Amino acid sequence: MKCTHLLAVFIVLIAACNEGQHLESKNGFAVVVPAKPGEAVATYAGGCFWAMQECLVELKGVNKVISGYAGGTTANPSYEQVVSGKTGHAESVQVYYDPKVISFERLTAAFFNSHDPKQVNRQGPDVGTDYRSIAFYRSKAEEIIIRSKISELDSLNGYVTPVATEVTAFKIFFPAETHHQDYYRRNSWDYYIRNVSRPKVLKLRKTMPELIKSEYKD
């Protein structure tokens, strides 16, 4: 099952949202604004971005999470192009966070707890390279943290099913169409959200309660 969306006309953002920018919506248009001073940026791919965006935005220290596309070769891809598997992109999220509140290490741990990193080119009912797991790094220190976490997970799993997450240097992130932003919150009635996305969100709340903002705790 692919992430489906309502049949409506929206404006597709054609400018890339690179490191150091936020995404906002105004009158149906996607607009980028500068990041706040002191923010750090991280990018991950872990299946449908509807759930991943919600999982990570609920973390203490996370100010903003943008849904989009990364890891491919096509500039400014549309959702339809990405899910075709021809652009090389994966549904991704770009996270703007306060490193004084949550470290890259803890943020990455939350990422791994927000999906099943052992699945290859899929997450549950969503199948395809656009749903593959990727942890992007912006420095050697971040790469070391990611690889260390993968080794830890493999060790805990007894190396029976190794982590399939790609570890890739960050290059560029393209924001998804405006109707994909904050989709989880705006469409709680959606069958996919209720049956596929919500269990992922609840799982993270349960496994890492110390990182969840108070307003999201039961």
User: Which residue stretches of the chain have pLDDT < 50?
Assistant: 1-20, 26-31
- The pLDDT value given to residue 19: 41
Residues 6+ apart with CB under 8 A from 79: 3, 5, 176, 177, 180
Q: Catalytic residue among 3, 17, 48, 55, which?
A: 48
Residues 6+ apart with CB under 8 A from 74: 81, 86, 87, 88, 89
Pick from 173, 175, 176, 178: which is nearest to 11 by CA? 178
Tell me, yes or no, if 3 is annotated catalytic: no
| Interior/surface letters 116-139, b for 16+ CB within 10 angstroms, e for the rest | bbebeebbbebebbbbbbbbbbee
The pTM of this model reads 0.85
Full set of structural domains in the chain with CATH? 21-212 (3.30.1060.10)
- The pLDDT value given to residue 28: 42
- The pLDDT value given to residue 101: 97
> Long-range CB contacts (< 8 A, 24+ apart) of 118-123?
118/157, 118/161, 118/162, 118/163, 118/164, 119/164, 120/164, 122/47, 123/46, 123/47, 123/48
Torsion 106-31-45-115 (CA) sign: positive
- The pLDDT value given to residue 49: 97
Strand ranges across the sheet with 90-97: 166-169, 133-137, 40-46, 90-97, 62-70, 173-175
- The pLDDT value given to residue 55: 98
Our measurement of the distance from residue 209's CA atom to the centroid of its chain's CA atoms, rounded to an integer in Å, reads 19
Do residues 67 and 79 lie in contact, with contact meaning Cβ atoms separated by under 8 Å? no
In eight-state DSSP terms, residue 196 is I
- The pLDDT value given to residue 108: 98
| Interior/surface letters 22-52, b for 16+ CB within 10 angstroms, e for the rest | bbeeeeeebbbeebeeebbbbbbbbbbbbbb
Do residues 137 and 171 lie in contact, with contact meaning Cβ atoms separated by under 8 Å? no
Do residues 86 and 93 lie in contact, with contact meaning Cβ atoms separated by under 8 Å? no
Residue pLDDT, tens place only, 79-109: 999 999 999 999 999 999 999 999 999 999 9
- The pLDDT value given to residue 17: 39
- The pLDDT value given to residue 159: 80
- The pLDDT value given to residue 3: 45
